[in-house]
Amino acid sequence: MLKRVHFGPSLLPFLLVAPQIAITIVFFIWPASQALYQSLLVEDAFGLKTEFVWFQNYSELFDDELYFDTVYRTAFFSSMVAFLSMSSALLLAGMADRVIKGAKVYRTFLIWPYAVAPVVAGALWMFMFDPTLGIVAYFLHAMGSNWNFRVNGDEAMALVIFAAAWKQISYNFLFFLAGMQAIPKSLIEAAAIDGAGPGRRFWTIIFPLLSPTTFFLLVMNIVYAFFDTFGIIHAVTKGGPAKATEILVYKVYNDGFIGLDLGGSAAQSVVLMTIVIVLTVIQFRYIENKVKY
């Protein structure tokens, strides 16, 4: 146990934490409590009357098969995004770790996509794959494919997955590269002398030693895919076609701001908030306690 440090009664510590507290209250506590409160209300589309209905919004939500479709879709979407972006980042980091000449240039280029805003990234991919004017779509058509993500739900899903994964590669790359560089070189050399080739060294030495980083990134990527991909989906597909790319966070927006079912949308956002809280708790507990070697 650390010994507690005692400060005399003073205003200073309170002043120092005040800005952070204020930000948390204004941008998290207050909207979160509003959402909680709103999730217990039913409001008509014109906002003329509001009725307090206890948990009716939730029971309707959990009875709704469409909602569970969205849950499964979100699970598929986020696991694909996490898997794709983490595996490509791992591959790139593995190669960047071996590069000696021009390593800095290589790394800088790999980090760039992270600086692109999600909506811009979405717009970029949308243009490239646009069935009528996209350059990639042009090649796909030339190869005989019938590519049109505006009518084919699976293709739309694939496109948003790729766009979302691409954008997250840089972030994962940075962490993986840092993790790899923290592994003592002599371990790799010892494995080389023990007879392990590059592939074997990677899977038996480097990958296990990266496990804390990998776990951290897994949680971060799921959180990213759940929430931060809104911009990409909004720019590329708007959740369509026929809700094929509507993930939970997009449904909150769609039901609340387009469908004007404010109570139901609030209930959904409370569910999402619970998911984030659970993920965060897992992250902290697991990272602090379990992932050690």
Partner 1 sequence: MAEILLADVYKSYGKTEVIHGVDWHIEDSEFVVIVGPSGCGKSTLLRMIAGLETITNGEISIGGRVVNDLEPAQRDIAMVFQNYALYPHMSVYNNMAYGLKIKGVPKAEIDQRVREAADRLEIGEYLGRSPRQLSGGQRQRVAMGRAIVRKPSVFLFDEPLSNLDAKLRVQMRLEIKKLQERLGITSVYVTHDQVEAMTLGHRLMILNDGYVEQLGTPIEIYENPLTKFVAGFIGSPSMNFIETRLEEDATTVKFSHKTSFRLAGSYPQFKGRNVSIGIRPEHFFFAPDNPEAIPFRAEVVEHLGADTLLHGTVDEGESELIVRFNGISTVTQGETVPVYIDPANIHIFDAQNGKRLEVE
User: 273, 277, 227: which is closest to 77 by C-alpha?
Assistant: 227
Q: Which two tokens stand for residue 19?
A: 């800005």
- Segment interacting with partner 1, rule: CB under 8 A, options 68-76, 153-161, 195-203, 215-223: 195-203
CB-nearer residue toward partner 1: 205 or 249: 205
196 binding partner 1? (CB under 8 A): yes
Half-sphere exposure of residue 262, counting CA atoms within 13 Å on the CB side?
Answer: 19
CB of 61 to partner 1, least distance (A): 44
Interface residue with partner 1 among 63, 193, 199, 289 (CB under 8 A) is: 193
For 208, phi then psi, to 5°, come to -60, -35
- Using rule CB under 8 A, residue 42 touches partner 1: no
Work out the angle at residue 234's Cα, subtended by the Cα atoms of residues 88 and 126, and round it to the nearest 5 degrees.
60
Nearer to partner 1, 217 or 252 (CB): 217
8-state DSSP, 148? -
User: Six-digit token pair at 265?
Assistant: 């949308």
How far is residue 34's CA from residue 55's CA, in Å, rounded to a whole number? 15
Count of C-beta atoms within a 10 Å radius of residue 46: 7
The stretch among 37-45, 120-128, 157-165, 198-206 that binds partner 1 (CB under 8 A) is 198-206
According to the binding rule CB under 8 A, does residue 287 interact with partner 1? Answer: no
> Candidates 11-19, 43-51, 187-195, 282-290 — which segment interacts with partner 1 by CB under 8 A?
187-195
Helix H or strand E segment including 42: strand 41-43
Answer yes or no whether residue 259 interacts with partner 1 by CB under 8 A.
no
d(CA 156, CA 147): 10
Least separation in angstroms between CB 83 and partner 1: 23
**CB of 283 vs partner 1, minimal distance in Å:** 21
* Residue numbers 207-246 binding partner 1 by CB under 8 A: 208-209, 211
CB 82 within 8 A of CB 123: no
192 binds partner 1 (CB under 8 A): yes
Query: Is the CA virtual torsion 246, 247, 250, 251 positive or negative?
Result: positive
181 sits near partner 1 (criterion: CB under 8 A): no
Smallest separation (angstroms) from partner 1 to the CB of 201: 10
Question: Closest Cα to residue 159, out of 273, 45, 55, 241?
Answer: 241
Judged by beta carbon, residue 204 or residue 274, the one nearer partner 1 is 204
Q: How far is the CB of 106 from partner 1 (least distance, A)?
A: 21
Q: Is 205 in the site for partner 1 (CB under 8 A)?
A: yes
Instruction: Report the interface residues with partner 1, using CB under 8 A.
Output: 184, 186-187, 189-197, 200, 204-205, 208-209, 211, 293
